[in-house]
């Protein structure tokens, strides 16, 4: 993650912003009418804002000239000026508010489009990307990125550029109507203010980035700990988790303190520049009034301009600081968008599965170069047959399912379905033809029914009932007061491991895929339920292509063929009886598991006998 930051910092920020505006521009054009109206309101508001000091000047001058004369005409004319001043001020505020209302819809739509674009892009990335990421930190990057886009659009377009135009207009008006000293003081103050703000903000941006990084890290740490609540409890690690979380919070606190101190230096320097400039302007205008070169109205106008000028200028400093913070946030969001997909679709060709024959041809694969997993594997799963893959831990059994679903591409060789290379078809059509019961079933925090419907949203109630029956889920549904409307909790934590796997089996059955994959599908079930479900699986898989990855050999004795993997290579293949007769690796695994089962039975019987012995007198 750090490398991404370093690479992005090497790119000039102006290129960053230019590229972001180019990315956001098509979304802005969706509401081009609203944008034009908002710009119109902006111009009206700025013209009204510049006109107010002139109305105030004429009012003061007229009152000063007519101080000793009281007539009906005198009363009426200043009253009109006062009414005009109030009307212009209202127009200025109203036009600004109307601008925000009009442009608010635009910014919300852009945020929606960018959030959806990023969401879709993250789902398009390979499994390797998500395995290397912390979900909590990723979520915070997305949240801050979308907020940064909103700020960038609203304030860059409607505050920075208009404020600069207003500054230029005021300086020109002062230069034309008054002695040059006023325009000089204003220009120097603006230049000093802008240069100081830029330099200090550049200096403190690293503290903003550091604070953001620690915020993401802290959030990810808390989320990871809460998601693994049961594991924390199992190992009584509450204190350890709290200490690690507090360490993260301490680093966040330190980063925020540095950020706050740098902000103090920035604000103090800006306030000093504004105060000195306004003091000089007041002294100069008072001097010209005393020598008769300016009226009291001019004095009022100059001071009104200064207050009116430095208020947005001070706001400009805040905006620049926030834009720098937004840039730090948005760059993370665009880095995610720039993240390439390691397993892209090479074409939009649709996979057709008339039979369901699966072939692994000379496949070699490794997650890292130092540790090859699959080595020159040639394996054929005939259409309509059930192939079981067995072997020790680390043999590469589950990796085959990831290759079949194209979560990864092999470094060499290819995977074929009915003669079609899966790299040459769309991933959506590929995975639509496949169904899986994974080893670790994770459910959505929703109802039982909706978790089942995730496989096929248009399934009927009868189809759901059939899937529930075939997966032996009737007892669970009956025991729950709300039946299929029962909430399963986050990640299905309200259910047992066996219940979650039965739901996964029902979900796969509901999908009715052309090729079925069972990855340790019964590993969390008791022996009785395991045998019951395996009978149902064999019924459902009859006539379909089925790949069963199993650790317990007793669950696959009825498979059409059994393939034995060791260190990523196929070493044996045949029926259960043929492999036993061969007395090779499969025979050794079978003997070891049978012996383990016998030892457990003996241990259970011995425990029962001990418990039933009467106590000696």
Which among 582, 501, 509, 480 has a CA at the least distance from the CA of 573?
A: 582
Q: Which residues contact 390 (CB under 8 A, 6 or more apart)?
A: 397, 549, 550, 551, 553, 556, 562, 563, 564, 565, 586, 589
3-state class (DSSP) for residue 356: coil
Segment (H or E) for 454:
none
Q: Which residues contact 496 (CB under 8 A, 6 or more apart)?
A: 524
Write down the number of H helices and E strands in the chain. Answer: 20, 10
| Cα-to-chain-centroid distance, residue 329 | 12
Distances (CA, A) of 531 to 384, 477, 521, 523, 537: 22, 20, 12, 12, 10
**Segment 105-125 mean pLDDT:** 81
| Contact criterion met (CB below 8 Å) for 103 and 40 | no
Q: Residue 60's CB: how many other CB atoms inside 10 A?
A: 20
358-368 β-sheet, strand order: 371-381, 358-368, 412-417, 420-421
As a whole number of angstroms, the distance between CA 389 and CA 358 comes to: 14
CATH fold group of domain 344-433+516-609:
Rossmann fold (3.40.50)
3-state class (DSSP) for residue 540: helix
Pairing of strands 545-549, 515-519: parallel
Q: Which residues contact 267 (CB under 8 A, 6 or more apart)?
A: 317
- Output the pLDDT for position 603: 53
What does the pLDDT look like over 55-77, one tens digit per residue? 777 777 776 665 544 444 444 45
As a whole number of angstroms, the distance between CA 269 and CA 264 comes to: 9
- Output the pLDDT for position 429: 92
Q: Among positive and negative, which fits the CA dihedral 145, 146, 151, 152?
A: positive
Most confident of 44-53, 210-219, 371-380: 371-380
| Contact criterion met (CB below 8 Å) for 360 and 406 | no
As a whole number of angstroms, the distance between CA 150 and CA 112 comes to: 10
As a whole number of angstroms, the distance between CA 397 and CA 391 comes to: 7
| Strands (DSSP E) found in 170-304 | none
Question: Dihedral (C-alpha) 226, 231, 233, 235: value to the nearest 10 degrees?
Answer: -140
**3-state DSSP helix/strand/coil percent for the chain, to nearest 5?**
70, 10, 20
- Output the pLDDT for position 209: 74
| Contact criterion met (CB below 8 Å) for 420 and 436 | no
- Output the pLDDT for position 404: 94
Q: How close are the terminal C-alpha atoms of the chain, in Å?
A: 72
Domain with CATH 1.20.1560.10 in the chain: 2-338
Most confident of 270-284, 475-489, 564-578: 564-578
Backbone angles phi, psi at 456, to 5 degrees: -155, 95
Percentage of the chain modeled with pLDDT above 90 = 13
Q: Among positive and negative, which fits the CA dihedral 366, 371, 373, 378?
A: positive
**Segment 581-599 mean pLDDT:** 82
Which among 334, 331, 336 has a CA at the least distance from the CA of 135?
A: 336
| Contact criterion met (CB below 8 Å) for 413 and 362 | yes
DSSP state of 339: P
3-state class (DSSP) for residue 433: coil
- Output the pLDDT for position 131: 67
What does the pLDDT look like over 379-406, one tens digit per residue? 999 998 999 999 887 788 889 999 999 9
Residue 316: pLDDT band by 50, 70, 90 thresholds?
low
Domain with CATH 3.40.50.300 in the chain: 344-433+516-609, 436-512
Domain 436-512 is in which class?
Answer: alpha beta
- Output the pLDDT for position 314: 66
Distances (CA, A) of 163 to 13, 167, 320, 597: 21, 6, 12, 81
Most confident of 64-78, 120-134, 227-241: 227-241
Segment (H or E) for 434:
strand 434-437
- Output the pLDDT for position 7: 40
Which among 299, 17, 273, 42 has a CA at the least distance from the CA of 166?
A: 42
| Contact criterion met (CB below 8 Å) for 433 and 513 | yes
- Output the pLDDT for position 421: 95
Average model confidence (pLDDT) across the chain: 79
Residue 14: pLDDT band by 50, 70, 90 thresholds?
low
CATH 3.10.20.30: does it fit domain 2-338? Answer: no
Lowest mean pLDDT among 92-101, 203-212, 528-537: 528-537
Distances (CA, A) of 554 to 235, 324, 592: 33, 63, 12
Higher pLDDT, 155 or 466: 466
Specify the pTM: 0.62
As a whole number of angstroms, the distance between CA 41 and CA 416 comes to: 62
Which among 531, 526, 472, 478 has a CA at the least distance from the CA of 502?
A: 472
Q: Residue 76's CB: how many other CB atoms inside 10 A?
A: 9
As a whole number of angstroms, the distance between CA 478 and CA 110 comes to: 47
Alpha helix locations (H) across 358-513? 397-404, 427-432, 448-453, 461-470, 474-479, 497-511
As a whole number of angstroms, the distance between CA 85 and CA 63 comes to: 15
3-state class (DSSP) for residue 457: coil
Residue 135: pLDDT band by 50, 70, 90 thresholds?
low
- Output the pLDDT for position 493: 61
As a whole number of angstroms, the distance between CA 169 and CA 166 comes to: 5
Higher pLDDT, 428 or 214: 428
Residue 156: pLDDT band by 50, 70, 90 thresholds?
low
Q: Which residues contact 355 (CB under 8 A, 6 or more apart)?
A: 383, 384, 418, 545
Higher pLDDT, 45 or 408: 408
| Contact criterion met (CB below 8 Å) for 146 and 115 | yes
Q: Which residues contact 377 (CB under 8 A, 6 or more apart)?
A: 360, 362, 363, 364, 396, 413, 568, 569, 570
Q: Residue 199's CB: how many other CB atoms inside 10 A?
A: 12
- Output the pLDDT for position 515: 92
DSSP state of 439: S
Total residues belonging to the chain = 617
What does the pLDDT look like over 409-466, one tens digit per residue? 999 999 999 999 999 999 989 999 998 888 777 788 888 888 888 888 888 999 988 8
Q: Residue 491's CB: how many other CB atoms inside 10 A?
A: 15
**Tokens (6 digits) for 548:** 């069963």
Backbone angles phi, psi at 515, to 5 degrees: -125, 130
């Amino acid at each position: 993650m750090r490398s991404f930051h370093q690479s992005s910092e090497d790119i000039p920020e102006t290129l960053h912003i230019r590229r972001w505006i180019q990315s956001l521009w098509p979304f802005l054009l969706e509401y081009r009418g609203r944008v034009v109206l908002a710009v119109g309101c902006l111009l009206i508001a700025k013209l009204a804002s510049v006109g107010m000091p002139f109305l105030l000047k004429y009012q003061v001058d007229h009152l000063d000239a007519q101080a000793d004369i009281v007539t009906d005409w005198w009363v009426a004319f200043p009253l009109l000026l006062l009414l005009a001043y109030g009307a212009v001020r209202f127009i200025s505020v109203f036009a600004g508010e109307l601008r925000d209302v009009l442009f608010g819809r635009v910014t919300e739509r852009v945020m929606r489009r960018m959030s959806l674009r990023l969401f879709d892009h993250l789902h398009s990335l390979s499994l390797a990307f998500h395995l290397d990421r912390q979900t909590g930190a990723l979520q915070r990057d997305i949240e801050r990125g979308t907020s940064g886009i909103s700020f960038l659009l609203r304030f860059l377009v409607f505050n920075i550029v208009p404020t600069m135009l207003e500054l230029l207009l005021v300086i020109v008006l002062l230069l034309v109507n008054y002695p040059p000293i006023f325009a000089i003081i204003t220009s120097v103050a603006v230049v000093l203010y802008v240069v100081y703000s830029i330099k200090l903000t550049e200096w403190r941006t690293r503290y903003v980035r550091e604070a953001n990084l620690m915020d993401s890290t802290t959030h990810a740490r808390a989320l990871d700990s809460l998601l693994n609540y049961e594991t924390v409890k199992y190992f009584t690690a509450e204190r350890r988790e709290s200490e690690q979380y507090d360490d993260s919070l301490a680093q966040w606190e330190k980063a925020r303190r540095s950020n706050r101190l740098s902000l103090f230096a920035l604000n103090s320097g800006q306030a000093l520049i504004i105060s000195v400039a306004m003091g000089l302007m007041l002294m100069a205008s008072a001097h010209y009034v005393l020598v008769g070169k300016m009226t009291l109205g001019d004095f009022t106008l100059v001071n009104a301009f200064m207050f009116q000028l430095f208020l947005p200028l001070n706001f400009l400093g805040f905006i620049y600081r926030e834009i720098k913070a937004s840039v730090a946030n948005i760059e993370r969001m665009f880095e995610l968008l720039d993240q390439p997909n390691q397993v892209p679709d090479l074409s939009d060709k649709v996979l057709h599965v008339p039979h369901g024959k699966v072939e692994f041809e000379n496949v070699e694969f490794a997650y890292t170069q130092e540790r090859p997993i699959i080595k020159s594997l040639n394996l054929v799963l005939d259409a309509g047959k059930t192939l079981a893959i067995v072997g020790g831990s680390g043999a590469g059994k589950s990796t085959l399912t990831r290759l079949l679903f194209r979560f990864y591409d092999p470094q060499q060789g290819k995977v074929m379905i009915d003669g079609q290379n899966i790299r040459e078809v769309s991933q959506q059509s590929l995975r639509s033809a496949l169904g899986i019961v994974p080893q670790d079933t994770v459910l959505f925090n929703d109802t039982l029914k909706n978790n089942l419907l995730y496989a096929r949203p248009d399934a009927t109630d009868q189809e759901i009932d059939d899937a529930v029956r075939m997966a032996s889920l009737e007892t669970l549904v009956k025991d729950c007061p709300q039946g299929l409307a029962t909430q399963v909790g986050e990640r299905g934590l309200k259910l047992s491991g066996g219940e979650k796997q039965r739901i996964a089996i029902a979900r796969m059955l509901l999908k009715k895929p052309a090729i079925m994959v069972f990855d340790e599908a019964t590993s969390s079930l008791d022996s009785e339920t395991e045998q019951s479900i395996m009978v149902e699986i064999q019924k459902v898989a009859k006539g379909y292509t089925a790949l069963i990855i199993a650790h317990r050999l007793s669950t696959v004795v009825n498979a059409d063929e059994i393939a034995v993997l060791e260190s990523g290579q196929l070493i044996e293949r045949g029926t259960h009886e043929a492999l036993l007769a061969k007395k090779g690796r499969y025979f050794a695994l079978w003997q070891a598991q049978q012996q383990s089962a016998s030892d457990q039975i003996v241990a259970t019987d011995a425990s029962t006998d001990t418990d039933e012995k009467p106590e000696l007198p």
